[in-house]
Structure 1
Amino acid sequence: MRIADSTMYDNFLTSYETSTASMQKTMTQLSSQKQLTEASDDPLKASKIINLNTSIDQNAMYGDTIQDGISWNQMQDSALSSISDVMLRMRDLIQNSANGTNGSEVNSANKAEIEQDMGQIVDTLNTKYGNKYIFAGENTTTKPFELEKNAAGDVTGLKYNGTNGNLSRQIADNVSVDLFADGSKFISNSDVGASAASLGDYFNNVVTALNSDNKDQLSGTLLSDTDAYRDNFVNVRTQIGALTNRLQSALSRNQSQATNLKESLSNEQDVDVATAYSKFEKEKLTYNATLAMGTKIMQTTILDYMY
């Protein structure tokens, strides 16, 4: 059976194009280190890669949110630690002012320092994280705390300009946490147990007692109220610490998930270089053999069929 030259040429061209395309594809994989160059190469695998990349991006976003929450809490913890120390100093000064042997100069100095401490407490409660106030509730762009003073410059109260809400943050699929931000928790005595109706009233009572040299009040209710409001700051700090622990555990899970997702993505899209190079060498042999065969076919003339 004789095969026409055109048929041999067509078969040669088909083999040549197939070998060239296969070798070119492997070369591209080796240079890009990726299994797919186009989605049409393997639509199912391409879909998996797209979904994995989406999951990795989303996981990274959650990780940033968790880390931001931890930093937010650490800023609050530092602020409340400072306030706790200031409250202890105020207690010492109030107790000292209740001493009947003190002269007016000592009490005046104590009052001046105590009002400075009140100002420091307010300044600390107005701490910012980035451009957001950390104890302003949901109203993070407005300065939350403001000392109220009379014409003589004495502290008479404390105004809160924030809200009584916290800040919700999503840290995983269908998982959210509330970052503490409700500065009103420091104002009201509903959970404090102090005789003063609010932190502002407590400030006012301290200044009033110092002005009138009320020893009984300084050594009695004001000391207990100082302890109560300081304990309240400590209790809130404890709650924030518990939330920080939860966020740190969530961050650890997030990082483990990120590692797993990246490994899965690598399995789907990255090339096994050793295997791909071995395949390329075989394809190169096939390509060269095809070229050699084509050369022989192209050189055939009518004389090759004559005896």
Structure 2
Amino acid sequence: MRVTNSLMSKNFMRNLNNNMKNVYKYQEQLSTMQQVSRPSGDPLKVSKVLDLNNEIKQNDEYKSTINDSIDFANVQDSALANATTSIQRIYTLTQQAANGTYNHEDRQSIKAEVENEIDTLMDSFNTSFGGKYIFAGNNSTTKPFVKEASVEGEMPKVTYKGTSDNTSKEIARGVAVEMKTDGSVLMNTQEESSDLGTLFNDLLVALDSDDTEKLGGSILNNVDKQINNIVNLRTNIGATQNRLVAAKDRNESEYLNLKTTYSNTQDIDLAETYMKYSMEMVSYEASLQMGTKILQNNLLDYIR
């Protein structure tokens, strides 16, 4: 093979161009602190980086949902704690009213306090979070529990205006948790005699009529059932809270793993990259120096 000046020049320019590309590659990595910044650099790695980035964003969305759900469950638990205090006070007042030593005026005083506790109980059940009622099912913008006059128009009666639905929240891919938003459970309609609306109506009527037998019998028993009903719902919400807290821990662990993988895939090793950059610069500068000997002398060199 005949080696000519033209061939040497072409090879030199090709090698110099490769050196320049390598210098540019590591210079760009040092500037961006990333291994790749465009698909053409490494299509497979870029694809993996994009997938990881999407996973991290989705993880953040799940984290936000979990935190909101935990806050929601905490508000529910607090509301039911207050409701339990109110219904327990109603139980105590019912016991007192059933005492035969109390006269009609005493029971009217108890009735006034019972009505106040019923209002407090309704306020607890009508607690809202983020502008939505927590025990209204899917009808979360309408106050679920209202106290209105009964058919006879004699005593107020509690009714439920929400829906019998729980709300589902997706907390991970393919994993959903059910938030207990079905307020109809609090009405305890499974047993007609202990239905919340019927119970309070019967209680107020019995206080007006001094029916101590009913106060100390069926009504007191039904108030106790209502206490247990609220406690049971609070227990279910507590179990949901525990599940959400566990999901939050898993979410944080997954986030850490994703960020670590992302960093290993995308971020550069600064010391190693700088060393490679320095070596490529030495190679590039050496190529330039060799070029003065490889390239043909120009006309001015011969004139001198």
TM-score for both structures, normalised by structure 2: 0.92
- Cα distance in 2 for partners of 1:228, 1:60 equals 42
| CA shift digits 1:124-151 (9 cap, x unpaired) | 1111110211100111121111111369
> Partner of 2:188: helix, strand, or coil?
coil
- Cα distance in 2 for partners of 1:69, 1:166 equals 13
User: Does residue 64 of the first structure (1) align with residue 64 of the second (2)?
Assistant: yes
- Cα distance in 1 for partners of 2:244, 2:143 equals 27
- Cα distance in 2 for partners of 1:127, 1:301 equals 91
| CA shift digits 1:265-287 (9 cap, x unpaired) | 11111111111011011011011
Q: Which amino acid aligns with 2:239?
A: A
Is the Cα–Cα contact under 8 Å of residues 162 and 183 in structure 1 kept in the other structure? yes
Match of 1:232 in 2: 229
1:107-126 paired onto structure 2 within 5 Å: 107-126=107-126
Match of 2:247 in 1: 250
The alpha-carbon deviation at position 304 of structure 1 amounts to 8.4
1:156-235 paired onto structure 2 within 5 Å: 156-190=156-190, 196-235=193-232
> Partner of 2:198: helix, strand, or coil?
helix
Task: Pick from 288, 291, 297 the counterpart of residue 291 of structure 1.
Answer: 288
Structure 1 alignment gaps of length 5 or more: none
- Cα distance in 1 for partners of 2:258, 2:122 equals 46
Is the Cα–Cα contact under 8 Å of residues 79 and 127 in structure 2 kept in the other structure? yes
Tell me the number of residue pairs that the alignment of Structure 1 and Structure 2 aligns: 302
- Work out the percentage of aligned pairs sharing the same amino acid: 42
Task: Pick from 267, 270, 274 the counterpart of residue 273 of structure 1.
Answer: 270
Is the Cα–Cα contact under 8 Å of residues 136 and 181 in structure 1 kept in the other structure? yes
- Cα distance in 1 for partners of 2:37, 2:232 equals 58
> Partner of 1:178: helix, strand, or coil?
strand
Task: Pick from 279, 283, 297 the counterpart of residue 300 of structure 1.
Answer: 297
Match of 2:25 in 1: 25
- Cα distance in 1 for partners of 2:72, 2:272 equals 49
RMSD: 2.3
Kindly tell me: are residues 302 and 151 of structure 1, through their superposed partners in 2, closer, same or farther at Cα, counting changes over 3 Å? closer
- Cα distance in 1 for partners of 2:41, 2:275 equals 20
The alpha-carbon deviation at position 302 of structure 1 amounts to 7.2
| CA shift digits 1:234-268 (9 cap, x unpaired) | 00000111111112112211111111111111111
The alpha-carbon deviation at position 199 of structure 1 amounts to 0.4
> Partner of 2:143: helix, strand, or coil?
coil
Match of 2:39 in 1: 39
Q: Which amino acid aligns with 1:45?
A: K
The alpha-carbon deviation at position 84 of structure 1 amounts to 0.5
> Partner of 2:157: helix, strand, or coil?
strand
Is the Cα–Cα contact under 8 Å of residues 99 and 212 in structure 2 kept in the other structure? yes
The alpha-carbon deviation at position 301 of structure 1 amounts to 4.9
Match of 1:260 in 2: 257
- Cα distance in 1 for partners of 2:154, 2:81 equals 26
- Cα distance in 2 for partners of 1:104, 1:151 equals 25
Is the Cα–Cα contact under 8 Å of residues 147 and 155 in structure 1 kept in the other structure? no
1:83-102 paired onto structure 2 within 5 Å: 83-102=83-102
- Cα distance in 2 for partners of 1:269, 1:154 equals 74
Structure 2 alignment gaps of length 5 or more: none
Q: Which amino acid aligns with 2:97?
A: S
- Cα distance in 1 for partners of 2:257, 2:155 equals 58
> Partner of 2:193: helix, strand, or coil?
coil
Structure 1 range deviating more: 210-219 or 3-12 = 3-12
The alpha-carbon deviation at position 154 of structure 1 amounts to 6.3
- Cα distance in 2 for partners of 1:141, 1:185 equals 18
- Cα distance in 1 for partners of 2:108, 2:151 equals 18
